[in-house]
Every structure is written in C-alpha cells, then in structure tokens.
Amino acid sequence: MSPPGHERICHISSVWVDAHKTADDWVIKMSETPIGAIILAAGKGTRMKSDLPKVLHSLAGKPMVRHVTDLVERLAPQRICVVIAPGMAQVAAAVAPYRTAIQAEALGTGHAALSAAPEMRDFTGNVFILFGDTPLITAETLQAMLSARSSATSPAVVVLGMRPAGPNAYGRLIQAADGSLERIVEFKDATDAEKAAPLCNSGVMLVDGARLFGWLDQIGNDNAKGEYYLTDIVALARADGAACAVVEGSEEELLGINSRVELAAGEAILQRRLREAAMLAGVTMPMPETVYLHCDTRFGRDVFVGPHTVFGPGVTIGNNVEIKGFCHFEGAKVADGAILGPYARLRPGADIGENAHLGNFVEIKKATIEAGAKVNHLSYIGDARVGAGANIGAGTITCNYDGFDKHFTDIGAGAFIGTNTSLVAPVTIGDGAMTAAGSTISRNVPADTLSIERASEEHKPGWVARFRARKLRAKQDHAAD
C-alpha cells in the first residue's frame, strides 16, 4: 500500500528534477499483476566505520534505503517489506510506514529474504527482491524485469545481470543455449570455466510470489560460505520445471555501496543524473560538475545556475531565475525572474519574490523578500519581511535575536534602508520610509519618514599630529632602555 500522502502515479513535470528520470515525460507501465517488494537492509555495514546503519547513509540528501523504497513506489506496489536486523529502530523509522521484518541472524541472502515470510508469504503477485545498499537502479530497469516476467515464456524468476568491465568476484549467471537462465554460481563455488562467464549476478530478482517462499524454505547452506544463498532459488525453480530469465542492467546502476569510498562514487553518479535531468528540463549549467543538487530540488525553465552552487533540501526555483554562482540554498523558494548571488545564502524559510535581487554575501533566513526588492551587498535579513520594491543598503542587518527569542522586522514597500543600518527587532519600517546610513533603528518608523540615529560628529584639529608624536617618543624611550 502506498504510504499516506504518497501519490500512486507520480507525474513528473518539467520542473521536477528527479534522480531516476532522464527524459521529459516517461511513464511507467502498470502491471496487471499486483507488485510487492522485499528490500534487504539488515547489513551492519562495518566497512562504513560508522555508528549509523549503512542503508541510512545518504545520496543527494536522502538515505539509500529511501531511494529504493521510492523507486519501487513508482510501480504502485501493493506491499513493501524491509528486512532489518535486531536493534535497527532507526532504519524502521526511516522506512515507515512500510512493513518491516527482522532477520534475527545474518545467515545469508536467502535467509534474509525468508525472514520476510511473516509479512509476505500470503502475497501472490510479482515480488521484487532488492537491496537497501544498491540505490542507483532505475525505474526503466525494473520495468524491463516486469516485461520479461510477463513475456511468452512466463519465467517464474527474473534475475538482473550485469557485465562488469574488469576482474571481479561476483557470482556468475550460467545461461542455456536459448539464453534462459540455468543457474547462478557464487564466485567461491565456481569452476574456472564458470568464472569465465561474462554475465554476473547483481542479486536483484523478480519472482512469482505464489512460489517464492516454497523455494526459500528449501534453500540449504552446503556451500563454501555455509550460508543460505538466495541464488539457489534459480536451481530450485528449474527443478520444478519453471522457466528463469535474465535482464541486463548497467554496472553503474548496480553499484552496491559498502564503504565511504563507494558512497562517494554513488554520489557522483546520482549527481550526474540529477544535473542531466535538470539541463534536459531547461536549466543552464556552464560547469555542471561543480553544482550539487538535492534529490528534491525543483527548477523552472530557463534557469541559469552558476558554478559552485549547492542546493540543500527543500529548494524550489521558478522560471527565468539567474543564480550567479558560489551560492548555498536550503529550505527556500525563489519566484520567477529573481537574480541571486554570487555568494548568496538562502536558509530555511527564505521566500524570494518575483524579480527580486540578492547580491554578494547576502544571507536570508525565515524572511520574505517581496517582488522587485533589492538586497545587493553584505547583508543579513532574518525573521523579516522586505516589502515590494524596497532597497536594502550594504551592511544592513536585522538584529532578530535577543539571546532568548527571535523577533520580527517588517520593512514596508518602497522603503530605503541606508548603508550599515542595524534594525533592532521587533521594529517596523513604514512604506516609503528611509533610514540614514549608519543608523541603529529600534523604534518604528512611520511611512515616508526619514529616520536618523547617529552620535554627534566632532572634529579635533591637530589631534593626529600630536598623537603620532607622542607614540614616536614612547617608542624611542623604549628602545633606549
């Protein structure tokens, strides 16, 4: 069942940058047979050298296991079960509201899949078996597996294979002369001839749910590792007279992530996909390799993103926006026609209006910058509203925090805030009002009023010469001692 608030069929518009979408409007064909999935996520991930469970390490800001669940969700599944180890409450919380099952002991992939029996044994549709640490599989590949399952030969088991470029220790897929799958041989159990087979096992399968657990119940552990291999399901299916088939995927999308090095490699792959999707949807990136995108970043058309810009979670960019580079955004919304940067920072709650301008070293936090307003230089605007057409001078700050509470600054439409003004919140600057440069404003300023707050300026003729002479004598006296 789809989780609450999750659409069964996800329409991908031209403004939604998506890690698994590379064309403008592809549509997943819905299977007539119900779809379920078992996602194996019980691995401790010792090579990660982390207290965080492996599958919760993130790619493009989202835990790996959520990439997998979200991918399956595109197929409108009726049931998803995530297999976890004892004590993995964090993983269970991360994948909620999907079902979870506990693999009490780490006895192999076959045992892990069998651990899902309490939640999945009565499910008779198509069942994917996927891995929480293999987050880069595409929806097109899953669709290809479904198509193979519904082909004329009606294979009961469809295995996802790959052809790695170099030497490896993957299990081998042994095919019959007609291309059907005869068996899977784990590398440690393979003969030299079997190791020479070019097609390797990714571990990912699509199985007839009505027969899945009958085969899982029969798997033994008489092998080099003494484990219950999920791969044995192919031989068991063949022994029952069922056909087995292979679908090939790319080595890149089947990368299993077990270390921080592989995590970085996966991030690079996903970032490339996200950038390509954004550019195909109408975003210009002159140096895309320097831009970091979050998996939920949304762009409009004709957006320009300059080099070295980072998009954190929850950022939506409208049409015809220019981002000049070296910017950092998170939790922000930018309306059409805005110009940002370079070196602008938008923090959560920033809402930038149409045709607004934010310049270099400007930071916006939990503030609305209305249409046509300008904050062009070296300013901090937090917990505030800047009205339409207002101009904020260089060095302006809203003093929004008193050590205990945050306070609001309201700047009216068409207001002009002079350079190096400190606005001590809570304070209101009326429409069309002005503040003189260098002022500290702590009282409300009525509309169309000029507010000046400065100490009186005093000139002391000759003071500098006397000061320098005094300092020089002191220096000479110190040297004489």
* Amino acid present at 176: A
Length of the chain counted residue by residue: 481
The whole-angstrom separation of Cα 215 and Cα 335 is 56
Do 382 and 396 meet the contact criterion of CB atoms below 8 Å apart? no
17: nearest Cα among 338, 255, 272, 334: 272
Tell me how far apart the alpha carbons of residues 188 and 312 are, in angstroms, rounded to a whole number. Answer: 43
Is 377 noted as a catalytic residue in this protein?
Answer: yes
Dihedral Cα 463, 469, 471, 477, nearest 10 deg: -150
Virtual CA dihedral for 170, 174, 175, 176, nearest 10 degrees? 180
Checking phi first, is residue 459 left (phi over 0); if not, alpha (psi -120 to 50) or beta?
beta
> Burial level of 38, CB count in 10 A (0-12/13-18/19+)?
buried
Buried b (16+ CB within 10 A) or exposed e, 303-321: bebbeebbbbebbbbbebb
Residue the block writes with tokens 């590792």: 225
**Marked catalytic residue, from 308, 377, 407, 459:** 377
The catalytic residues are: 377
